Structure 1
Amino acid sequence: MAIVTPVLISSLFTGFKKNFQDALGEVPSQYTEIATVIQSTTKSNTYGWLGKFPSLRKWVGDRVINSMAAHGYAITNEDFESTVGVDRNDIEDDEVGIYAPLFAEMGRAAGVHPDEQVFAVLAAGFTTACYDGQYFFDTDHPVYPNVDGTGTPVSVANLVVDGAYAGEPWYVLDTSRALKPLIFQERKKPQLISMDKIDDELVFTKKEFRYGVDCRDAVGYGFWQLAFANKRALNADNLWDTIVQMRAIEGDGGKKLAIKPTILVVPPSLEKVATRLLERELDANSSNELKGRVKLLVADFL
């Protein structure tokens, strides 16, 4: 029987923390493929510059200052946590080894947390507004005839819906820009903390040492022009149609945006179809024109 002392408890926490950190570092992540990580230092961040695609003009005479429409798009950080209780009897009975997998799983949960959040927000783009007040995936994003966002806008779509389609949505993104289609706003990285003093109230009343992980972050949308969603069959014609529509998107004032679709994002249910579409060779007399055209990302948490 082990004697519970502060030195023993400190040693246990060191071991639990290693289990946590090892698992956290080994988790493969996908979110950075489609989201730009922004370090946050405040409760929320406002991205008033969204909608402005910078460009250069020939400098003749004085500089021309164009007033841009301001957008009050803000992303507010949220708190996330997970807590584990360790029974004092297990420590006294030298049974703490049974908790090692639990702390490893806690580390894994912290590691996949960004993926869970980012791909959930991508999927919610059909009913969640972005900087221009429209749903991120919509058929009527306003694009204005003047670069300063004035004039009568025309509606531009980054969504196609086939009412007869019963499958899951799929997405084509341009992730080649400094700002990717989604934003992962990180305020506080996952951190394992403990409440394990021998004279702690919960140890006294319930014989329980507590260990928890918490973090602060949030996910939001960048430029809608860099993303296109489809609720229609995933096939070569529809993928090419998506690429063509994205390439044709212009900014305010008829500005060419040079959108270059780089990645096809699908849920696991469409993995087989997408793999065949992008990677399968056809026959000796023809080649797969989509092979190597875009990268395939099968999103585990989509």
Structure 2
Amino acid sequence: MLINQTNVEEVFRNVRATFNRALAAAETRHQHFATVLDTDQIVEKMDWVGSLPNWRKWVGDKVLNAMAAHTYSLTCEEYESSIAVKRRDLEADRLGIYRIQATSQGELAAYFPDERVADAINDAFTATCWDGKPFFATDHPTEHKDGTPATYSNMGATPLSAATQAAAIASLGAGLQALRGMKNDRGRPVRIRDIRLLVPTALADVANVLATNDRLEDGKPNPYKGVVQVEVWEELTSDTAWFLMGEAGGLRPIVLVQRKRPTTAEVTDPNDSHVVRSGEFIFSIEADAVAGYTLPQLAWGSTGEG
């Protein structure tokens, strides 16, 4: 291939098309657990999370839902992944290797939101949310109906088990009961929908037994068949932790803040200083995002450590 701007740009058009096909073909899962929020801010203030509306009797003037006095914010972080397209390879028409790499880049871009959401879930037993407590905690602050201080829990330690009906009730059953019983800060039901059981690969078999089998390992009827949909994420780092997550009021427990969705950046000019110096053109992807937490009442997490 003769190396000039026109020919190089044609190669990159083909690389970009391969990238876009892979990007479109990937099946992502972050949307099942995360609310996506696009922003132009590097630091996104999340004060609104604690100020979601509630019904009250209309007596006198309307009461506006002011932002809660919390300072929870999320700082977007930049990510990149780059391919060096060697001038020498283009001269020799070795284009197949770059189609393979472009496919990999497309999948990498597609799964970028999944990875950020998985990061937040992996950190959720220690990383703080809007109320100053770890997202999964036994002592989230709230109030009784009379305004006196109270706490609630969205965390357990029971291992997920299908060994016996009693063990299933004590693990999955207890988590479901706790999640379905969640109240907002006015003491009203959260009304969680689309509850999913999220597990690492180590718990996939146990979770699928609980979700699909007629009977459990002790031969007794399975009360949880068809109750939850199971999702197995390879990105989860704990082999014992398991999670129940749902949606209410258009909100999911994780928030993915995106300042820049994965996008391509290229260097195709043969006279560019980098190309002249290194003999390499560049095909890269860039993103700027962060994942954090919304309402703890939308999720239940167990360390599974007993």
Fold shared per TM-score above 0.5: yes
Distance 1:31 1:6, change over 3 A: same
Tell me the residue number matched to 1:180: 252
Q: What value does the CA root-mean-square deviation take over the aligned residues?
A: 2.4
Aligned equivalents of 1:160 and 1:210: distance in 2? 48
Q: Is the CA contact 2:240–2:305 (under 8 Å) kept in the aligned structure 1?
A: no
Tell me the residue number matched to 2:81: 82
Q: Is the CA contact 1:80–1:216 (under 8 Å) kept in the aligned structure 2?
A: yes
Aligned equivalents of 2:87 and 2:253: distance in 1? 48
SS at match of 1:203: helix
Aligned equivalents of 1:96 and 1:66: distance in 2? 58
SS at match of 1:12: helix
Tell me the residue number matched to 1:125: 124
Equivalent residue letter for 2:256 = F
SS at match of 2:281: strand
Check if 1:111 corresponds to 2:107: no
Aligned equivalents of 1:158 and 1:170: distance in 2? 12
Distance 1:84 1:167, change over 3 A: closer
SS at match of 1:142: strand
Check if 1:230 corresponds to 2:230: no
Aligned equivalents of 2:92 and 2:64: distance in 1? 74
Query: Could you say which structure has the greater relative contact order, defined with CA pairs below 8 angstroms and 6 or more residues apart?
Result: 2
Aligned equivalents of 1:106 and 1:40: distance in 2? 24
Aligned equivalents of 1:11 and 1:49: distance in 2? 47
SS at match of 1:37: strand
Q: Is the CA contact 1:25–1:111 (under 8 Å) kept in the aligned structure 2?
A: yes
Tell me the residue number matched to 2:91: 92
Distance 1:176 1:59, change over 3 A: closer
Aligned equivalents of 2:67 and 2:268: distance in 1? 54
Aligned equivalents of 1:91 and 1:65: distance in 2? 63
Aligned equivalents of 1:37 and 1:62: distance in 2? 34
Equivalent residue letter for 1:161 = A
Aligned equivalents of 1:6 and 1:103: distance in 2? 20
1:42: Cα distance to partner? 1.4
**TM-score normalised to the size of structure 2?**
0.70
Deviates more, 1:130-139 or 1:48-57: 48-57
Check if 1:156 corresponds to 2:152: yes
1:11-22 equivalence runs, <5 A: 11-22=10-21
Check if 1:171 corresponds to 2:243: yes
Aligned equivalents of 1:184 and 1:22: distance in 2? 24
SS at match of 1:108: helix
1:156: Cα distance to partner? 1.3
Check if 1:190 corresponds to 2:189: no
Tell me the residue number matched to 1:38: 37
Tell me the residue number matched to 1:212: 284
Aligned equivalents of 1:176 and 1:163: distance in 2? 26
1:208-287 equivalence runs, <5 A: 208-232=280-304
1:11: Cα distance to partner? 0.3
Unaligned 5+ residue runs, structure 1?
A: 235-302
Unaligned 5+ residue runs, structure 2?
A: 162-237
